[in-house]
Amino acid sequence: MKLKYIFLSLLAIVKFSACSDDDNIDTTKPEIEIVTPDDDEHFHPGDTFELRAILTDNEELASWKVDIHHNSDGHTHSQVIRLKHGGEHSHEEEEWHFHKEGSIESGTKQYVLILEIEIPHDAEHGDYHLGIYVTDKAGNENKAFITFEVEDDHHEHHD
């Protein structure tokens, strides 16, 4: 009879230790703070702007990617996060797309992403979405988007 209780006790210990391993699984998404450019900022074809974002994770970051695409169809992204700190062309305009990605050094919990992005001289005028995607070592992903406008040189702002 004692053997039965010992066996059940060992079985319970194994089960509870397996459950405690599940508690150590990282399910927290990394965070993204877009510092620059501002949401709804205006640029002209040929301009260069700095993309600066702070990426953080509770455990360890793995990779990032940046995607810029024209919003010619007026679509939206389900998760829009708006955070911040703070001449005439004689050729046809083209929809501009930008894509870049990179890895983050092992053990990194906070990473400052800085990219200089040049808008082509023939970029189509209109609204663009800038998306940043970040993945942590456990595979959790998060994304943040802002919108900016590429306008012609003769566009005036009215306050």
Q: What is the pLDDT of residues 118-143, one digit of tens each?
A: 999 999 999 999 999 999 999 999 99
Three-state DSSP state, 17: helix
Please choose, from the candidates 26, 21, 23, the residue with its C-alpha nearest in 3D space to the C-alpha of residue 142: 26
Q: Residue 30 class from Cβ within 10 Å (0-12 exposed, 13-18 middle, 19+ buried)?
A: buried
| Mean pLDDT, range 104-112, rounded to an integer | 98
Q: Domain 26-150 classified CATH 3.40.50.620?
A: no
Domain ranges across the chain: 26-150
What is the signed CA dihedral for 73, 29, 136, 65, rounded to 10 degrees? 20
The span from the CA of 44 to the CA of 28, in Å, is 38
Alpha helices in 24-132 (DSSP H): none
| pLDDT tens digits, 41-97 | 999 999 999 999 999 999 999 999 999 999 865 545 444 443 444 434 344 556 789
**Strands 31-36 and 48-56, how do they pair?**
antiparallel
Q: Give pTM, 2 decimals.
A: 0.72
And the tokens for 95?
């929809």
